[in-house]
Amino acid sequence: MSELYNYFLSYDNSKYEIGVDRVIMTAYKKQLAYENTPAYTEMFYKEPGLFAGQCISSTHLLDMAKDYAKKNYLSSNFTMTMFGTHTKTLFTDYVKRSNGIKYDFRDLSTSQFKEHLYKKDKDYYLYINNLESDYEPTFEEKVVEKEEENALDA
C-alpha cells in the first residue's frame, strides 16, 4: 500500500488541466442535453404547423406548451417568465406588443417556420426530426397545380 501511495505522491500530472479546461462535449452528453430541452421548445420543433400562419398571445402559447408537455409526458414545470424569455429569444423578429405580448407568425408558411427554427439551432432541428448530422434540408414550398387538384377531386 505504501508503494501505491508513493507512486501517486511522485506522479507528474502537470499535463492535465483539471478543473480549468472545459469538459469535452461527447455525443452522449449532447443527447442528454437535447433530451432535457424544455417541452415548449420541443413543441415548436415537432409541431410547426400549429403556429405557422397564426398570431398567438403569449398566455395562449403557454397554455399550449403545458398541454403539449402533459400529452407527451414531459415536464410542465416552467414559469411564464422562463417560457417568455426563451420564446422571445427564439422568435425575436415575430414578437409584437399590443395588450400583452403576441407572436405574429401570419407571414410564415410551415416550411418558412421550419427554416427559421433550423437557422436558430441546426443540431437540435436535426436531432428532434431524426435526421442525419450531414443532412441538409430544403425548405421549398410544395405547390399543388390546378390539374393535380382537379384529378384529386374526381
Given a contact cutoff of 8 angstroms between Cβ atoms, the answer to whether 80 and 62 are in contact is yes
Kindly tell me the sign of the dihedral angle through the C-alpha atoms of 61, 65, 71, 77: negative
Band (pLDDT 50/70/90 cuts) for residue 148 is low
pLDDT of 149 reads: 53
pLDDT of 22 reads: 73
Residue 33 predicted with pLDDT over 60:
yes
pTM score of the predicted model: 0.75
pLDDT of 62 reads: 95
- 73: cell is 409526458
Would you tell me how many other CB atoms lie within 10 Å of the CB of residue 86? 14
Check whether domain 38-140 has CATH 3.30.470, yes or no: no
Per-domain residue ranges of the chain = 38-140
